[in-house]
Chain A
Amino acid sequence: MSTARTAILDRLRRVNALPLKASEPDYPIWNDADPDAMLARLTGLLEQNHAEVLRLPRTALVTTLRERLAQAGIKRVATGTGGEFFDDITQALNGTAERVCFDRPLEEWKDTLFNAIDAGITGCHGAIAASGSLVLWPGPEEPRTLSLVPPHHIAILKASTLHTNLPAMMTDEGWSQGMPTNLLLVSGPSKTADIQQTLAYGAHGPSALTVLILEDA
């Protein structure tokens, strides 16, 4: 449709709109940089949005994960094939739940992922205190659907990766220099209020979100 392209752009150009400069008024945004305040804000907002948040030291990851899986009655867990917490996850699953590694293209095991997995475990790239959001940066070792398809998503977050707000995180990490194929903010389990404004969880994605925050990592 290159003729459509030319015609549309020609019409827009003919208007000769005067390009405005980027000098926009500032707006207030939550920007407390105190680590405790950030952590409290993140935890509070995630819990408000129906997520379960556990704060623990790095050394307690394996046991906490194991306890959580047992409490939630999780039998089969999908995990990635690497990442910082791979060994801890492996250890926690050992003897607790069956593990299915996301080690082949989705098409080859879509049915299993959709119908026979209870939970998916992923790490987080970081988090945003102002809005109470986890930042997921999926990749080959932790694919996108790991945090989407299983009914329970367990996310592991290092407190040191917490940023005060989204603009600060974008700038600090230079997002505009190169974006991954899929970058995602998650602020709770999937939900909807489409039927008579009644809030219901688990609309399409996970109905439960558990966040394990490693306070000393």
Chain B
Amino acid sequence: MHNRPQHFHAQAEAALADTELRANFRGAMDYLRDKRKTAFADAAEESAIRDRAEAIRQRCLSKLPELLERLESNCIANGIRVHWAENAEQANAIFTDIIQSHGGTLAVKGKSMVSEEIELNDAMAKEGITCLESDMGEYIVQLGRETPSHIIMPAIHKNKQQVADLFAEHVPGFEHTLDVDTLIQTGRRVLREKYRTADVGVSGVNFAVAETGTLCLVENEGNGRMCTTVPEVHIAITGIEKVVEYLADVPPLFSALTRSATGQLITTYFNMISGPRKDDELDGPKEVHLVLLDNGRSQAYADEELRKTLQCIRCGACMNHCPVYTRIGGHAYGTVYPGPIGKIISPHLMGLDATQDLPTASSLCGACGEVCPVRIPIPELLQRLRHEAKQDPRPGALPLRGQKAAASNTEAFVWRSFALATRQPALYRMLTWCATRLRWLMPKKLGPWTRCRTAPRPAAKTLRELMAERKQ
């Protein structure tokens, strides 16, 4: 049973109580922060790259429908088949159709958060198709029947002891060891056999270039290359926001992505895929498909402020720098995208009714906004979503799915009363007089607030009374 955003508070408490999990995250986050700091040693350079990356993302989003059409026509001209899906169900139906039309039973999959979003593995299993994760971290997570706890380091919540235990349980012939090289070689041995025999390869997309009909894939391991090269069919899936206008838009975004994510100047492999195998070529997939998924993104797009959510290039830097994520880890959120970006994107994917607690899980310290390579104003968007979770849509604005789900009658009554009292001087004076004179009636316990704080107590006299005394 996977975690759910509806149970965020309980999941966060459980994560906080797990000392091994907290140690794993502490170590990993310190490591990733240090790497990013080294990669962006020059503050002026960092700022310039972020400005450029932000400008590119905003321009491309401003032309999104046009660019999607251009991407589609250029992909088709290159021999790539393009499919559109409104939601997870439609996307999975597209996958099923393609794979079954080839009589396929095994698909190998490179890292793709969008495929997590549509729960592709479970949906394919229902159709009798095995969908095997091939990114080393994802493979480990899949063995443990878990979901990724970070968008670029899926198994970051596990230490090598836990990985070795998993291999001992699931990989035949594995001799228990804590040597990381041997552990990786074990994964390599299992997965290479699968690349060789798989009918279909699945991948995500980091940037889809409208100008040339090219799908770009950023990776270090080579599993992305394997999945998109060896099987006879390659299916790529991406959210509709990942399209960029020009090929020239790619280098600055790529640089911002790798430095922010893992502190690398560049990744080991950068794949640019612009079509299936040609007649005279001897390898590469014979068919390439691209699935364009909406799944709530057009809702975020409808509002100019919330549209900035879609600028995200999925580097995970906001998670690595978030004091909340660092302490509770990714699973506590119960969403595909955890941490700060997850808190602003999940309401569009799942509705605010399911995710109403997430925007409140922030200290609003601003760290996420300070490191975002495309300058998404995450803290401002969190505050906006806190409002949307409690209030009616603004006049003329489209409602978010589940808007006002967190509204509370008690809270609304308190605020209405406060507003009334502050507008009526006589009433205000009477209430403050009561509050100061009856201060001993103040309860000692105020729910969660007093679990680790002393309850506040009104002063003996009101401020107005004190000021009046001073004037005398």
Residues of A near any B CB (own CB < 8 A): 1-2, 4-5, 7-9, 11-15, 17-22, 24-29, 45, 49, 102-107, 110-111, 114, 131-133, 138-140, 143-145, 148-149, 165-167, 170-171, 175-176, 178-198, 200, 202-206
Contacts and interface: CB of A to CB of B under 8 A. Distances in A.
Contact of B155 (A133, A144, A195): A195
A166 B249 CA distance: 11
A187 B84 contact: no
Contact of B281 (A14, A139, A193, A195): A139
Given A20-B58, A20-B62, A24-B52, 17 more contacts: A8-B298, A9-B65, A11-B302, A27-B45, A28-B45, A104-B282, A144-B229, A167-B248, A185-B269, A194-B137, A196-B158, A202-B184, A204-B188, A204-B191, A204-B223, A204-B226, A205-B221
B296 to A, nearest CB: 11
B84 A12 contact: no
B84 A1 contact: yes
A205 B184 contact: no
Contacts of B135: 194
A131 B86 contact: no
A126 B136 CA distance: 30
Contacts of A187: 266-269
15 contacts: A7-B86, A12-B301, A24-B52, A29-B251, A45-B265, A106-B230, A181-B284, A185-B266, A187-B266, A190-B269, A194-B137, A194-B221, A200-B183, A203-B136, A205-B225
B176 interface: no
Given A25-B55, A28-B48, A197-B27, A8 B229 contact: no
Contacts of B3: none
Interface of B: 24, 27-28, 31-32, 44-45, 48-49, 51-52, 55-56, 58-59, 61-66, 68-69, 78, 83-86, 90, 94, 134-137, 140, 153-156, 158-160, 163, 180-181, 183-185, 187-188, 191-192, 195-196, 211-214, 220-223, 225-226, 229-230, 232, 240, 245-248, 251-252, 254-255, 262, 265-278, 280-284, 292, 294, 298, 301-302, 304, 307
A144 B184 contact: no
Contacts of B225: 144, 148, 184, 204-205
A198 B160 contact: yes
Contacts, number: 264
A195 B160 contact: yes
Contacts of B273: 181-182
